[in-house]
Structure 1
Amino acid sequence: MTSPATGPARARSRRAVTVTAFAFLVTMMGTTLPTPLYSIYSTELSFSPLTVTVLFAVYAVGVVGALSLFGRLSDDVGRRPVLVAAVGLALLSALLFLLPPSLPLLVVARVTSGLGAGLMSGAGTAAVIDLFPAEKKAAAGTLAVAANTGGLALGTLVAGVLASAAPAPLTIPFAVHLVLCVGALLGLATWAPAPARRGRLRIRPHRLRVPASIRGAFARAVLAAGAGFSVTGVLTAVTALFLARDLHLDSHALAGFVVFLSFAGMAVGQLVARRMRPRAALPVGCAGLVLASAALATALAGASLAPLVVAAAVLGVSGGLCLNAGIATTVEQVPPAHRGEVSSSFFAGLYLMLAVPAIGVGLLASVVGLRQAGLVFAAVVAVLAAAVGIVELVSARRTD
């Protein structure tokens, strides 16, 4: 029989998990809301593919900047203040997107969104894991990544549907996100646990460090999950342009759906990964990334929609396997006092691999064209994923 004290404690814990995951999801939504709208911005403001990829990628500058400056902040001052700051930055970004668009304003809005995502990626993952008992760390890691990728998926889908079905496609998606941010802030203020102790607020660059005991696993995890992130980043940046310019499909909902498939597939990948050993999930995920790259190359070479949809779905599931395995073999293996720092280091690596290839594709596209640049990129990712998968298999055999 449950004691009187246990019932309310469990209810508080469930509410804390719910509002933390919701805040995580809402913050990450803001980073992909512009995805299906890039073709509109491109038309209205005469953006080239390079401008669009740079506009997409600059938010990673905010992410990595936040992780570098504040990677240990949630370890120092507690999780809740950092979560509140992250959602507040997402809200500010939504406000900026609601202003009349211009390239400088959009860049500022994207960097602001990136700062919020950077704070949330590290602190949110650590906060969710903290709220679960030790024997349920795997479930906590899955929920954290699902909130992350679920927010990314919902952002692009919601914006695409609203842009196609509602008036003012550059306004309504961000107005909806603004309301969700307010709800997340209220939830955190009401139910998120207060810090057990109040540390000192230190705003200075932190060298993101990884314990020596997990450095090999950390490098493989970042390269594998980062390969998935890099393909997802390129899909996010150029799908709307590819559909509109090469396939002559102007549906914003379709552009949002293709990218949604990738991020939703990541959530599916988490469920699959929970039934596998992390050391097995990583090479399987890498093999899937090779297949996704091949499907993407087929879509680009033949200018066809079906392989693009297949690439997005396979990419998502494969990336989810790699991401879940990466969390399990890095963040979940360190004590709580270092969890925020390791989590921040992990996501800093992922977001660098998200941004740099996207800009590289934009630069190459300005010389050889978008489709040819995508073919080169797909080949590079396939080679990287295959190499990491092989190294992981060899390492697993040595340690078994």
Structure 2
Amino acid sequence: MDGDLRGWRQCLLSGAVFAVCMAGTTLPTPLYGLYQEKFDFSELTVTVVYAVYAVGVIGVLLLAGNASDAVGRRPVLLWGLGAATASAVCFLFATTLGWLYVGRLLSGLSAGLFTGAATAYVMELAPHGGTSRATFLATAANMGGLGCGPLLAGVLAQYADWPLYLPFAVHLALVACSAAVLLRLPETVRERRPLRTVRPQRPGLPPRVRSVFGPAAAATFVGFALFGVFTSVSPSFLAHSLDVRNHAVSGLIVALAFFASTAGQLAVGRFGLGRSLPLGCAALLGGLALLAGALWWDLLPLVVLSALVGGIGHGLAFRGSLAVVAAASEANQRAAVISALFVVAYAGISVPVIGVGLLAGPMGLEGAGLVFIACMMLLVSTAGVYLLRRPAPAAETAGQP
């Protein structure tokens, strides 16, 4: 019993460290409007600054995504906290636009180092028989941390002094506490190897996975694209179109999408993995429709509903996609296939957002958003219809106990 309590305490502490790191990646979200005023840059620049983050994540996932299997979980997580520290320092002392680019790149590096290593670490610290709960804890720490970032920054920016400095100072303090906690937790990798043995991972797509991967990747792309728009340009839309200039409200609306995603992933257990992917597509379609209505009629309640419905769709679709492609893959190809899915996910969080930024100049933010929504609705509808007409055999397998 004492061993179980110690295991769960360590599991919870590692989850808290995971959440702190991920919170730093979304911390600038409600502050982009203030940076626009300070450095006088366009909506396109906002989206590019945001998308630089995905470059860092994809780079780490491809080049060193399996590093923690060799050198250990704690060293990789400490590197991730180091990158998070450097990112916060860049934002804290930003005097030109270039600092924001570097800060976002470093933020992506921290997320890339944490994504796989922290998930594995939380699961490995759990007591025997607690893998399922630990998996949800890792998911909740990831998405919950992403949601807490804009909420924390928004509240501090609205109700405290130094809005462009205090959020990052607070995050630096949290990172320091996280490093102290991490140093007291045990290492879970027993047989460690030198860093030079780590080889880049190339995403792979074996022929038997392709029919399953297509619709799963489409749903994943749309889900992350919706999140990308929410976390990059929604604060600007709220301020300029809805006259919502309260940074705390802006941060809360973005946070709701991430919290709803956690709820959606938890709901997979109720619906079953086999049905989660088509249900996720349907919810994403609903979230996009609500966002279109919000842009067309300038209605704040529809923005909130879009965050909630789209977030639930993201959670259902993403967890369902991971399960489907993993079940369809051979054991020795699974890591490469999942890496390919993550590359699609982070392409979704960056490429469409830049497209919205490019169109915002000639069409306005609302027009650009409607074009984005039309494209994403077409993509997710195609994936959903495909899944309804041809359910993936892997999904049926994955859904069995």
Please give the TM-score of this superposition, normalised by the length of structure 1.
Answer: 0.91
Q: How far off is 1:128 after superposition?
A: 2.9
Q: Structure 1 stretch 150-159 or stretch 12-21: which is displaced more?
A: 12-21
Is the 2:69–2:189 Cα contact (8 Å) retained in structure 1?
A: no
Q: How far off is 1:376 after superposition?
A: 0.7
2:8 to 11, 14, 22: 14
Q: 1:121 to 1:270 in 2, by over 3 A?
A: same
Are residues 1:47 and 2:41 paired? yes
- Equivalent residue, structure 1, for 2:123: 129
- Equivalent residue, structure 2, for 1:70: 64
- Equivalent residue, structure 2, for 1:346: 341
- Partner AA of 2:111 in structure 1: A
Q: Structure 1 stretch 75-84 or stretch 46-55: which is displaced more?
A: 75-84
Whole-angstrom distance in 1 between the partners of 2:211 and 2:124: 25
State the secondary structure of the residue aligned to 2:111: helix
Q: Structure 1 stretch 258-267 or stretch 339-348: which is displaced more?
A: 339-348
Instruction: Write out per-residue CA displacement over residues 35-65 of structure 1, whole angstroms, 9 at most, x where no aligned residue.
Output: 0001100111111110111111111111111
Are residues 1:279 and 2:274 paired? yes
Q: How far off is 1:340 after superposition?
A: 6.2
Q: Structure 1 stretch 326-335 or stretch 290-299: which is displaced more?
A: 326-335
Whole-angstrom distance in 1 between the partners of 2:55 and 2:169: 24
Whole-angstrom distance in 1 between the partners of 2:132 and 2:327: 8
Whole-angstrom distance in 2 between the partners of 1:16 and 1:122: 18
Whole-angstrom distance in 2 between the partners of 1:286 and 1:378: 14
- Partner AA of 1:385 in structure 2: V
- Equivalent residue, structure 1, for 2:246: 251
Are residues 1:96 and 2:98 paired? no
| Structure 2 unmatched ranges of 5 or more | 397-401
Is the 2:201–2:336 Cα contact (8 Å) retained in structure 1?
A: no
Q: 1:335 to 1:94 in 2, by over 3 A?
A: farther
Give the alignment of 1:361-400 within 5 angstroms: 361-396=356-391
Whole-angstrom distance in 2 between the partners of 1:388 and 1:132: 36
Q: 1:125 to 1:222 in 2, by over 3 A?
A: farther
- The percentage of aligned residue pairs carrying the same residue is 42
2:175 to 177, 181, 188: 181
- Partner AA of 1:160 in structure 2: G
Q: How far off is 1:124 after superposition?
A: 2.0
Instruction: Write out per-residue CA displacement over residues 302-321 of structure 1, whole angstroms, 9 at most, x where no aligned residue.
Output: 12212111111111111111
Root-mean-square deviation (CA, aligned residues, Å) is 2.4
Are residues 1:27 and 2:4 paired? no
- Partner AA of 1:321 in structure 2: L
Are residues 1:322 and 2:310 paired? no
Whole-angstrom distance in 2 between the partners of 1:80 and 1:341: 23
Q: Structure 1 stretch 88-97 or stretch 26-35: which is displaced more?
A: 88-97
Are residues 1:270 and 2:287 paired? no
Give the alignment of 1:165-180 within 5 angstroms: 165-180=159-174
Is the 2:156–2:163 Cα contact (8 Å) retained in structure 1?
A: yes
- Equivalent residue, structure 1, for 2:303: 308
Is the 1:299–1:305 Cα contact (8 Å) retained in structure 2?
A: yes
- Equivalent residue, structure 2, for 1:56: 50
Whole-angstrom distance in 2 between the partners of 1:133 and 1:394: 41
Q: How far off is 1:22 after superposition?
A: 1.5
Q: Structure 1 stretch 216-225 or stretch 173-182: which is displaced more?
A: 216-225
Aligned length: 394
Q: How far off is 1:275 after superposition?
A: 1.3
Q: How far off is 1:152 after superposition?
A: 0.7
Is the 1:58–1:111 Cα contact (8 Å) retained in structure 2?
A: yes
Q: 1:395 to 1:364 in 2, by over 3 A?
A: same
Q: How far off is 1:208 after superposition?
A: 2.8
Q: 1:260 to 1:302 in 2, by over 3 A?
A: same
Q: Structure 1 stretch 360-369 or stretch 212-221: which is displaced more?
A: 212-221
State the secondary structure of the residue aligned to 2:270: coil
Q: How far off is 1:15 after superposition?
A: 3.0
Is the 1:330–1:342 Cα contact (8 Å) retained in structure 2?
A: yes
Q: How far off is 1:235 after superposition?
A: 1.3
- Partner AA of 1:61 in structure 2: V
Q: Structure 1 stretch 12-21 or stretch 210-219: which is displaced more?
A: 210-219
Q: 1:165 to 1:341 in 2, by over 3 A?
A: farther
Instruction: Write out per-residue CA displacement over residues 51-96 of structure 1, whole angstroms, 9 at most, x where no aligned residue.
Output: 1111111111111111111122122222222122112211221122
Whole-angstrom distance in 2 between the partners of 1:375 and 1:364: 10
1:358 to 350, 353, 357: 353
Q: Structure 1 stretch 88-97 or stretch 386-395: which is displaced more?
A: 386-395
Q: 1:220 to 1:125 in 2, by over 3 A?
A: farther
- Partner AA of 2:279 in structure 1: V
Q: Structure 1 stretch 76-85 or stretch 328-337: which is displaced more?
A: 328-337
- Equivalent residue, structure 1, for 2:110: 116
Q: 1:138 to 1:312 in 2, by over 3 A?
A: same
- Equivalent residue, structure 1, for 2:399: none
Is the 2:124–2:188 Cα contact (8 Å) retained in structure 1?
A: no
Q: 1:339 to 1:81 in 2, by over 3 A?
A: farther
| Structure 1 unmatched ranges of 5 or more | none
